[in-house]
Amino acid sequence: MLAFAGSSFAKDKASTNKVDIDLSRMSSTMVFSMVYQMVTTPEKFVGKTVKMKGAFSSYYDDEAQRRFFGCVIKDALACCSQGLAFETAKPRKYPSEYPSEGASITIVGTFEYEREEGEIGFPIIKNAKLFR
Q: Which residues sit at the interface with another protein, rule CB under 8 A?
A: 26-30, 32-34, 36-37, 40, 75-77, 79-81
- Can you tell me the distance from the alpha carbon of 129 to that of 38, in angstroms, rounded to the nearest whole number? 19
For residues 64 and 51, what is the distance between their CA atoms, to the nearest angstrom? 27
Q: How far is the CB of 117 from another protein (least distance, A)?
A: 25
Q: Is the CB of 36 or the CB of 94 nearer to another protein? A: 36
Identify which of residues 75 and 97 has a Cβ nearer to another protein in the complex. Answer: 75
**Looking at beta carbons, which pairs linking 64-71 to residues 24 or more positions away fall under 8 Å?**
67/94, 69/94, 69/98, 71/105, 71/107, 71/125
Q: With respect to another protein, which residue has the nearer C-beta, 40 or 96?
A: 40
Least Å distance, CB 88 to another protein, is 26
Nearest distance from C-beta of residue 26 to another protein, angstroms:
8
Helix H or strand E segment including 38: helix 28-40
